[in-house]
Each structure stands twice: as C-alpha cells, then as structure tokens.
Structure 1
C-alpha cells in the first residue's frame, strides 16, 4: 500500500490475513492524518501483482477508497487471465457490494506508471509515463490535490485526454480531447439494484479452490451504453447503483504495460439513485 503526503515514516503493520493487513495499515495512516491535521490518503497498489489481493478482501476495508485499476509495470496482470479477474472486473465487484450491503463509499480507480527503469525507453521494463491521473484542483498544493482526489474530481489515463467530465445525480457526461485522426469508444459501465449476490470459487484442474476473486454474476459491471465518438452521456435510471466510463482510443499505446494495449482513460464512478448511503 502507498501512503501519500505523510510527515513521518509509518512502519508497516502486519496481520493474520490479507484483509487485516490492509485495514491495520489504513488505520495507521488515518490516525497519522488525524494527529497531524494534514491532508493524506492511502491506496492499494497493483492488486493483481502475484494475484495477491481479492475483491472480497479489499472491498471491506474502511477508510481505503483508492486502488490501481491500471499499473504500468509489465508484470502486474492488469487484465487478469482465464482464472483471475482483471482489475476492472475487481472494481465493479467492489463497487456493487460497497454501495449495497457493505454501505461503504465509492472505491476510486487510479492509473500509475510504477516507474523503476528510467533509461532505455521504450522497453519491456517498468518505464515511467504509462499511466497517470488528471486532477481538477483549485491550486497546486497537497491539500487541494488530495481533497479533489477524495471527492472524485479526477480521471485516470494511459494516453487518452478528456476535455470534460461531468458527474452528477443525473448521470455522467464525457467529452474527449481528441488527437487528430484517432477514433474513440466511450463505454458506460455500471451495476443495477437487485444484482445476484451469489458467487462461486474458482477451481484449478485438480478441483481445488484457487486463492483469487470469486466468480460473480454478469449483472455486475454491465455495459449500459456505448458511444462511438468524442462525446457521450449516460442518464441514471431508478435502478442504477453507479456508472463509470472507459474511453478507448484506436491508437496503440506507444510503450504499453502489455503488448497490444490501446490508449485509454477511466472516468470515476458516479453514484446512482439506487445506492445505499454510507454508514
């Protein structure tokens, strides 16, 4: 986990489970923030690195409202595989449960580069510049940036720029800042009230359960509306829990985390009328 804008070293907290480790480290950051009075936040890095983090564990952490939906390191398995959910699938599972029975706030999705290798670019090393966030803030200060992040006034990107994002109780509106010659697809993705809450474990060829996010209904994280172009809008219906948007360019990423990636942007979830208020 990464803590941002801390005033002193926070020793890592252990625990008896993945969930307990995340909750104890989150609690430590929140206590440090309360004591200092400074703006701080914590986020969960690359959940699919080693497939170490399950949606079922991260979704329950209180006070931790950020995770990496895209990480530029070539070894973090953003897209998952046949037995492991990708990071976007994990995001939708968490959102659906946090906004219903868990009654927790939205989980926001960050894009980062995880840059370690600053020479020999492009390469299959962990180069900088593969992912970032664009924040709407009143000034360039830690407090202003963190306050904007915590209220969802940002989008994440691996190459697509957005001219505007309008999130409200009515829905979500997107306008792309296009690159000449590029074509864009805007997908509005969400989950509606009454989705099946049952799930089943993922099993290997030997029939044994694999430590990974469980398999959930396709009613979680449905594509609710698709637009080909640079402007798109989704208006909430009464059953909508949330909607988020993924904007994909037809331009290949010039130095991708995984070969064949297209440039993308991720707009943060707008909460719909069917969501339960956080406790």
Structure 2
C-alpha cells in the first residue's frame, strides 16, 4: 500500500468511531501443529466458549495445509490430550496405533475452519508465525489473513530479516488482492528486536504492546526498555520519517491449554477489540488498518471516540475496581512522548492542543487478573495513536 493511502487511513480515524460494534479476538495462538499442547479444534472451542468472536491459530512456519500425523508423546499422555479430544469430537478424530504407539492426524486449516467457524458469529483467520533469527536473536512476525505460506528468511541483520518478511507479505497482498497484516511479536523475547531495529523498517504498522507469555519481558529490565517505551520512541521516529504510525496489539501467545499458572503461556490474557460490523477476516483486517481497535489485558471499553477536537474514552466498570485513563502524546518541536492528562474514573476526554502531533491513551485498573503472566498483574488497555490535524 502506498504511503499516501496509509496516511489517509490515519486521518480517517477522526470520524470512524461513530458506530461502536466491538469484536473480541486473539491473533497469536499455538497448537500441536508447532509447539502448542492441544489440537486446533480444542483451542478454538475454548475461545468460542469464552466470548471471543474471532481467533487465529498462528503456528510456527506452517499454515496447516498438509497431511500430518503426530505421535502422542509422554506430555500428551499425561495431559490426557487425546482422551479429551475424542470425548469432545468423537468420530471426527482420526487415530491409529502402531508398535505400541498412538498417532493422530492433525486436521488442516481448511478442515478445522469448516468444522468450527460460525458465519457471522465466530471467525477463524488464517495465520502463520514466520519464525526466523539472526545470530540467535529470535525474529517472530505473525501474518494474519495470509493466503499462501511464507518461508522464514535469513539476512545479514535483524532489520534485513524483518524487512524481507514484510516485503513478502506486501507482495502476497498485492498478488492476491487480500487485506493482510504483519505484526511483530514480543520484541523483548530474547531481547532480539530493538527500537532502533524497528525504526528502520518500511511497511510495518503493527506490533505487540502486550503479550501474555511469561517469558517475553513486556516490562523490560534494568538494561532494556519496556515494550510501551519502545512504542513511543518508534512512533516519534516514524512520524519524522513520514511513515504511518505503529499500532499496538494485545495477544495471548498461548501454548498451554491443560494447566493454568503464571509460569505457563495460557489463553485469556491479551486480546484486541475491533470496531467492525462484519465478522469476517477481510473486514477485521481492514478495520485494524484504520486503527479501529484497542488492545486489552482485562479492561473493556464501551466507547472510543476521536473527533477533530478531542479524544474520549468510556470504560465498562467492574464493580469494586478503580481506573485511571492517561493520555500520552508528542508535541511539535519535541522528541519525546509525554503524559498529557490523567483522569481517575471511567470517563475521560482530552481536547487537542495546537501543538499536538499524535495522541494515544492507556487505561490502568486495580482489577487483579485471575490468571496473570506475573503475580499481582492488574488489567490494562491501550488505544491507538492518532495524528492530530
């Protein structure tokens, strides 16, 4: 997509939140097709049963389009994975025994989509986590609504590997005439991707501001900045380069479905809420490219409204919990995103000033998450940055 088109999308945000129809979804999930510990149908059923409207099974370097039989290992026996699968799906399950070992055929994307999707109510988005590395630094990029497999790339730097992947996504998008997005996963996982790396990219509009895996270091450490700090630094650079601003996604990055604990990567920790009427992949991706979504780890917003003069937010309050809404932004002639205003309560408005460049919001709460990725974690939400005319 050309730069001028993407810039138009940003300004479209000023009138696009008038109608609020929020769909809940997760774009980062793993199954037995790669390093998850359950079958895709079982995982999808969890999301359907827990109030989600869409999900993507994003396994590493596969789009689940081949015939594959897997052996039930000791982990699967201990978790009673096959027994649970058979109990839930009966004759749908294909299993066989050979030399005292049990094998099960994994259903392809097309099969489990046809089995589990409910048109208009629950959507399954085709996805792949393109998994590469450079000098042992992990480089993971999810591609949502892709149509064809994308191989992992090599290169002479972290930036080169990422850019090759992004270029391939854009080429496939043009070839298939299908909306699809690439989002950079957990930059602080293995501290493989830095803000300086991401500043150099062309054609990247999404990354994970929140990931529910316990090993991804969302908060950084004494040597590395937090993911949220990276977000602002990158967007200052993108603005000055004339690039579209970077949007923040929340995900589970779930791998474990039989036991729930902070040290495991479970479902239900991070998600996005997309403002779109049509619950189908192209509409969801198109709405995200317009910035019509927010990321959450437990806070639900009833409205997000952006006009030419102000940015306003309303929260669906959970009784017994307190909230603060903080607006952050960049001012003309400066190089650092600052706090613009803070409001305690469930409603807040920020009136744009003449020297505002872009503005986003973060919502904090005192609500303690039931299955956090770290002890004492409280629910949050993040809205997208908008350029101020």
TM-score, length of structure 1 as denominator length: 0.87
The whole-number CA distance in structure 1 between the counterparts of 2:322 and 2:218 is 23
The whole-number CA distance in structure 2 between the counterparts of 1:78 and 1:16 is 27
- In the alignment, structure 1 residue 186 sits paired with structure 2 residue 325: yes
Q: Which residue of the partner structure matches residue 217 of structure 1?
A: none
User: Aligned to 2:184, which of 36, 44, 47?
Assistant: 44
- In the alignment, structure 1 residue 249 sits paired with structure 2 residue 374: no
User: Aligned to 1:96, which of 225, 236, 243?
Assistant: 236
Tell me which structure has the larger Cα radius of gyration. Answer: 2
Q: Report the count of equivalent residues.
A: 249
- Residue 123 of structure 1 and its aligned partner are, at CA, apart by 4.1
User: Is contact 2:324–2:342 with CA below 8 Å preserved after alignment?
Assistant: yes
- In the alignment, structure 1 residue 71 sits paired with structure 2 residue 211: yes
Structure 1 segment 26-65 matched on structure 2, within 5 A: 26-65=166-205
User: Aligned to 1:145, which of 279, 284, 287?
Assistant: 284
CA RMSD of aligned residues (A): 1.1
- Change over 3 Å in CA distance of 1:24–1:169 after alignment to 2: farther
User: Is contact 1:93–1:221 with CA below 8 Å preserved after alignment?
Assistant: yes
The whole-number CA distance in structure 2 between the counterparts of 1:95 and 1:172 is 18
- In the alignment, structure 1 residue 159 sits paired with structure 2 residue 298: yes
User: Is contact 2:262–2:374 with CA below 8 Å preserved after alignment?
Assistant: no
User: Is contact 1:176–1:230 with CA below 8 Å preserved after alignment?
Assistant: yes
The whole-number CA distance in structure 2 between the counterparts of 1:168 and 1:62 is 28
The whole-number CA distance in structure 1 between the counterparts of 2:348 and 2:156 is 45
The whole-number CA distance in structure 1 between the counterparts of 2:302 and 2:262 is 30
Q: Which residue of the partner structure matches residue 375 of structure 2?
A: 259
Q: Give the stretch that moved more between structures: 16-25 or 66-75.
A: 16-25
Cα distance per residue 1:155-198 (max 9 Å; x no partner)? 100000000001233231100011112110001111212224xx
The whole-number CA distance in structure 2 between the counterparts of 1:168 and 1:17 is 41
SS at match of 1:185: strand
- Change over 3 Å in CA distance of 1:168–1:18 after alignment to 2: farther
User: Is contact 2:325–2:343 with CA below 8 Å preserved after alignment?
Assistant: yes
The whole-number CA distance in structure 2 between the counterparts of 1:17 and 1:174 is 41
Structure that is richer in helix per residue: 2
User: Aligned to 1:127, which of 263, 266, 291?
Assistant: 266
Cα distance per residue 1:188-223 (max 9 Å; x no partner)? 111212224xxxxxxxxxxxxxxxxxxxxxxx2211
Query: Which runs of 5 or more structure 1 residues have no equivalent in the other structure?
Result: 197-219, 274-279
Return structure 1 stretches of 4+ with deviation > 4 angstroms: none
- Residue 272 of structure 1 and its aligned partner are, at CA, apart by 1.9
TM-score, length of structure 2 as denominator length: 0.63
- Residue 255 of structure 1 and its aligned partner are, at CA, apart by 1.4
Q: Which residue of the partner structure matches residue 211 of structure 1?
A: none
Query: Which runs of 5 or more structure 2 residues have no equivalent in the other structure?
Result: 1-140
The whole-number CA distance in structure 2 between the counterparts of 1:195 and 1:259 is 37
The whole-number CA distance in structure 1 between the counterparts of 2:225 and 2:262 is 26
- Residue 119 of structure 1 and its aligned partner are, at CA, apart by 1.3
